[in-house]
Structure 1
Amino acid sequence: MIPSVRLSPAPAAFSGSNLRSKSASIPSISSLKPSKYVVSSLRPLYLAPLGGPHTAELKPQSRQPLEFRCAASAADDKESNAQVPVQSEGAQRLKISIYFATWWALNVIFNIYNKKVLNAFPYPWLTSTLSLACGSAMMIFSWATRLVEAPKTDLDFWKVLFPVAVAHTIGHVAATVSMSKVAVSFTHIIKSAEPAFSVFVSRFLLGETFPVPVYLSLIPIIGGCALAAVTELNFNMVGFMGAMISNLAFVFRNIFSKKGMKGKSVSGMNYYACLSIMSLVILTPFAIAMEGPQMWAAGWQKALAEVGPNVIWWIAAQSVFYHLYNQVSYMSLDQISPLTFSVGNTMKRISVIVSSIIIFHTPVRPVNALGAAIAILGTFLYSQGGKTDVPATPDWQNWKEQITSNLVLHGF
């Protein structure tokens, strides 16, 4: 808390003849000891002679000693009291609602078209590459046309970003591989276990500790995911392992991002754009090695024969919406608190699971739905357990970084 300063209305008068003796009692700035708090006044300081403006008309030969009054006053009450208008609670709620609605809608659309593409064109490595390529092209065009201000980066920025991009690439490809083998709903149920990975990695590798509610929330998360996996009608080991690897990769991505990007003045939109570009550079040679142009050509002809030109629209849609929903998720974290973000992420996962079951007519047994509900509930409790991590002295940036590392930031 910054202490307040009250200015006394009583003026302090000094005459020119005794100014030298008076100044001797005033300590110099260099002799002052550094204090924990720095107090400053934004009000202007005026110096005026006691005799008023006519004192300036004194003749030089009179050599009368001049007295000055030192007093602080506001130049204009309107100017000194000007404040940035505080956004009303209703407007803030409306903005958050718009962010959530856009975020959920874009994510649901992406998952639907991504699954359509993978059903018709089952090449997850190429599909992942196209998603990153589309987003990178969109942002480069925005920078070139000055629709978005280009970030100011240096070599050190890209060095720090590299491990983040590696983890992001692995997590993205692993999630896409999972969706190519199992239902979208099953992938997202398994991905709801990401908080458990985050706690285990942070606890055993980084030595971090968490409140008791956080550890207790892992019980329904792990138990619900296990129940859903055992009762999944279309269980596939490759799909299951893909979702698990994606969880682990995204946890390391968040850790690398938290540790490396401190002090980097790059907005959420540009940060994700740079991340997409570097991930694209990393992924492209591996996609060619894993699948290759010959497999892609054969699969493309088969997709056109079975689906028709619609597959082109599906690929374009899943690529565009993948980038857009990630952009909105990064941008929304700059506008809302991490805890609000985590609650929204939990609700988003529910919307993806429900919508995919309805659209793709995924068979779900009651016990399977129960496992999914328990896992999602555990994720919600996990995000609420992070409230105990708030420090006594509010420091928004540190609090944001501390909680963000414990959240499920993105549900790919």
Structure 2
Amino acid sequence: MEESVIFQWSVFRSVLAILQWWGFNVTVIIMNKWIFQKLDFKFPLTVSCIHFICSSIGAYVVIKVLKIKPLIMVEPEDRWRRIFPMSFVFCINIVLGNVSLRFIPVSFMQTIKSFTPATTVVLQWLVWRKHFDWRIWASLIPIVGGILLTSVTELSFNMFGFCAALFGCLATSTKTILAESLLHGYKFDSINTVYYMAPFATMILGLPAMLVEGNGVINWFHTHESVWPAVIIIFSSGVMAFCLNFSIFYVIHSTTAVTFNVAGNLKVAVAVLVSWLIFHNPISAMNAVGCAITLVGCTFYGYVRHMLSQQSPPPGTPRTPRTPRNRMELLPLVNDKLDDKV
């Protein structure tokens, strides 16, 4: 009886974690699109900078004031040598995501973001000459095919937004690969990651945001009809962005890798549906099919990764300089659980 109660609580906790993660993630995406489209605040650099400021403050409060998470100490030299390069790519990743949201629908942007596993595998293969099991390559076929079908049939296609989203995938992959090498020896959770990276990202982005968008923001303040309600919404999106980071910490400890992968792909479907209900962007039948193929491909990719990670190398396998030491070396170094940080 006691085991049944524990199992039920575990299931309830997992469902609750996934739902709150979905809620924060979809809310941030929809709020950002609302800011660009409905509030006519077409300044993605400034929005990203506000998100970083809110995340910096939120992480400080959680770690230093509320002491919910212990601070992972990092040497000052390592902050500049390891974390600063990560912060730079982290900054580019978020900015490109917001830029793409300004020009293309949420549904299209989310579908392109699902291309990240493919870019990660290709980058590691090209740069590090990393070996991958043939099943990893096969699992990328429906992802690539679905992206191509979605792009060709997208009714609101915008080349600049498409390129921003695609390069955002490359930035996400680069960030993940850099994390494996630059943060070796430090076991960061999502809150400590934000604690160290968000201030650097704010510093990196602050001056470009003022130079590129400063005059536009000032003009917006003078011409927009309801400035302060709009400002509240913009800063609320920053608060929600931090809450999303904190929710990832809860999900990591409440679900398995397979559950997370499936939930992540369903989250994309939820974001597409909610954005369509709010913004009524046109979606053709073939476009919906392409999106579905991409999500199925991502789920299959996650399943293949999980299956390979559970296997041991065959006994007596001869070792060569290019032979992976174990099955995990056949897998991409992508941490899907941390790719949603904003």
Give the counterpart letter for 2:261 in structure 1: S
Structure 1 residue matching 2:283: 3-state secondary structure: coil
Pair 1:260 & 2:171 matched: no
Higher relative contact order (CA 8 A, sep 6+): 2
For residues 258 and 132 of structure 2, the distance between their equivalents in structure 1, rounded to whole angstroms, comes to: 15
Give the counterpart letter for 1:268 in structure 2: S
Q: Which stretch shifts more, 356-365 or 257-266?
A: 257-266
CA 1:274–1:387 in 2, change beyond 3 Å: closer, same or farther? Answer: same
Whether contact under 8 Å (2:139, 2:300) holds in the other structure is yes
CA 1:227–1:407 in 2, change beyond 3 Å: closer, same or farther? Answer: farther
- How big is each residue's C-alpha offset from its partner over 1:90-117, in whole Å with a ceiling of 9 and x where there is no partner? 2222221111111000011111111111
Pairing partner for 2:25 from 107, 118, 137: 107
Specify the alignment match of 1:297 in structure 2.
Answer: 218
CA 1:221–1:267 in 2, change beyond 3 Å: closer, same or farther? Answer: closer
Structure 2 residue matching 1:114: 3-state secondary structure: helix
- How big is each residue's C-alpha offset from its partner over 1:5-24, in whole Å with a ceiling of 9 and x where there is no partner? xxxxxxxxxxxxxxxxxxxx
1:82-121 → structure 2 map (5 Å cutoff):
88-119=6-37, 120-121=40-41
Specify the alignment match of 1:269 in structure 2.
Answer: 191
Pair 1:234 & 2:156 matched: yes
Structure 2 residue matching 1:355: 3-state secondary structure: helix
Pair 1:201 & 2:120 matched: no
Specify the alignment match of 2:298 in structure 1.
Answer: 379
Specify the alignment match of 2:59 in structure 1.
Answer: 139
Pair 1:345 & 2:267 matched: no
For residues 92 and 157 of structure 1, the distance between their equivalents in structure 2, rounded to whole angstroms, comes to: 38
Q: Which stretch shifts more, 97-106 or 318-327?
A: 318-327
CA 1:206–1:87 in 2, change beyond 3 Å: closer, same or farther? Answer: farther
CA 1:230–1:407 in 2, change beyond 3 Å: closer, same or farther? Answer: farther
For residues 273 and 201 of structure 1, the distance between their equivalents in structure 2, rounded to whole angstroms, comes to: 28
Pairing partner for 2:287 from 350, 368, 374: 368
Specify the alignment match of 2:316 in structure 1.
Answer: none
Specify the alignment match of 1:405 in structure 2.
Answer: 333
For residues 301 and 403 of structure 1, the distance between their equivalents in structure 2, rounded to whole angstroms, comes to: 53
For residues 86 and 259 of structure 1, the distance between their equivalents in structure 2, rounded to whole angstroms, comes to: 42
Specify the alignment match of 1:26 in structure 2.
Answer: none
Give the counterpart letter for 2:282 in structure 1: P
Whether contact under 8 Å (1:135, 1:323) holds in the other structure is yes
Structure 1 residue matching 2:118: 3-state secondary structure: helix
Specify the alignment match of 1:45 in structure 2.
Answer: none
Q: CA RMSD in A?
A: 2.6
Q: Shift of the alpha carbon at 1:334?
A: 4.3
For residues 209 and 404 of structure 1, the distance between their equivalents in structure 2, rounded to whole angstroms, comes to: 9
Pairing partner for 1:333 from 237, 252, 259: 252
| Aligned-residue identity in percent | 24
- How big is each residue's C-alpha offset from its partner over 1:162-193, in whole Å with a ceiling of 9 and x where there is no partner? 22211111110001000011111111111111
Pair 1:150 & 2:71 matched: yes
For residues 51 and 143 of structure 2, the distance between their equivalents in structure 1, rounded to whole angstroms, comes to: 30
Give the counterpart letter for 2:248 in structure 1: S
Whether contact under 8 Å (2:146, 2:290) holds in the other structure is yes
CA 1:247–1:348 in 2, change beyond 3 Å: closer, same or farther? Answer: same
Paired residues, number: 322
Specify the alignment match of 2:50 in structure 1.
Answer: 130
Q: Which stretch shifts more, 323-332 or 140-149?
A: 140-149
Pairing partner for 1:179 from 101, 119, 142: 101
Specify the alignment match of 1:216 in structure 2.
Answer: 138
For residues 86 and 164 of structure 1, the distance between their equivalents in structure 2, rounded to whole angstroms, comes to: 44
**Residue segments in structure 1 that go unaligned for 5+ positions in a row:** 1-84
Q: Which stretch shifts more, 181-190 or 149-158?
A: 149-158
Q: Shift of the alpha carbon at 1:200?
A: 0.4
Q: Shift of the alpha carbon at 1:402?
A: 8.2
Whether contact under 8 Å (1:110, 1:317) holds in the other structure is no
For residues 97 and 27 of structure 2, the distance between their equivalents in structure 1, rounded to whole angstroms, comes to: 16
- How big is each residue's C-alpha offset from its partner over 1:368-407, in whole Å with a ceiling of 9 and x where there is no partner? 111111111111111111023325569xxx9999867245
Whether contact under 8 Å (2:96, 2:167) holds in the other structure is yes
For residues 185 and 265 of structure 1, the distance between their equivalents in structure 2, rounded to whole angstroms, comes to: 34
For residues 336 and 360 of structure 1, the distance between their equivalents in structure 2, rounded to whole angstroms, comes to: 32
Specify the alignment match of 2:322 in structure 1.
Answer: none
Structure 1 length normalisation: TM-score?
A: 0.72
CA 1:171–1:361 in 2, change beyond 3 Å: closer, same or farther? Answer: same
- How big is each residue's C-alpha offset from its partner over 1:289-311, in whole Å with a ceiling of 9 and x where there is no partner? 322x2221112333x32x55431
Q: Shift of the alpha carbon at 1:265?
A: 4.3
For residues 130 and 347 of structure 1, the distance between their equivalents in structure 2, rounded to whole angstroms, comes to: 28
Whether contact under 8 Å (1:258, 1:401) holds in the other structure is no
Whether contact under 8 Å (2:13, 2:254) holds in the other structure is no
Give the counterpart letter for 1:273 in structure 2: Y
Structure 2 residue matching 1:88: 3-state secondary structure: helix
Q: Work out which of the two has the higher radius of gyration on C-alpha atoms and give 1 or 2.
A: 1
Whether contact under 8 Å (2:121, 2:332) holds in the other structure is no
For residues 356 and 312 of structure 1, the distance between their equivalents in structure 2, rounded to whole angstroms, comes to: 22
Q: Which has the higher helix share?
A: 2
